[in-house]
Amino acid sequence: MNAQALTLEDKIRGHHKSQLELCERLEKIADDLPDKYDRQECLSIAWQLYPAVRSAHRFEEQELFPLLVPTAASEEEISKSIERLKFEHWEDESSAEDISLYLRQLIRHPESANIGKISYMLRGFFEGLRRHIAFETEHLLPKLREIQ
């Protein structure tokens, strides 16, 4: 499939898929803590996580959300949902930065790492992101189909 043939929904699903793959990888690291985790994988995720999450969020906020607000039949409901989703984007970007920092510190100074805190952060992040993506898939993508 060439890039021009991709619909907006395809692109959103592509961003969701990339983020869900990152969630899988984060879950594997969390499962492998405290001492079986892959150091190279931690560094790789530390580089990729924030840019991937931010790029997905910017795309949704610039391309998807503006289409949904003025057209939704239940306008107030969708506006509230979008406000909440934007807030979750902001929270997730902040967490992605923290996680990247903590993963780098884990690799540099494993002896002083707070493993319990890292595990808690990773699990909170990927569980929240999966819920966020499930909501967008279940509630926003059908609305997009209605108006396109």
- Give one DSSP letter per residue of the chain, joined into a string: --GGG--HHHHHHHHHHHHHHHHHHHHHHHHHTTTT--HHHHHHHHHHHHHHHHHHHHHIIIIIHHHHTTT-SSHHHHHHHHHHHHHHHHHHHHHHHHHHHHHHHHHH-GGG--HHHHHHHHHHHHHHHHHHHHHIIIIIHHHHHHH-
Closer CB to Fe ion, 99 or 106, in the complex: 99
- The interface with Fe ion within residues 22-51 (CB under 5 A) comprises none
Minimum Å gap between C-beta 120 and Fe ion is: 23
Closer CB to Fe ion, 23 or 60, in the complex: 60
Number of residues that bind Fe ion (CB under 5 A): 1
- The interface with Fe ion within residues 77-116 (CB under 5 A) comprises none
By beta carbon distance, the residue nearest Fe ion is 60
Minimum Å gap between C-beta 52 and Fe ion is: 12
Interaction site with Fe ion (CB under 5 A) = 60
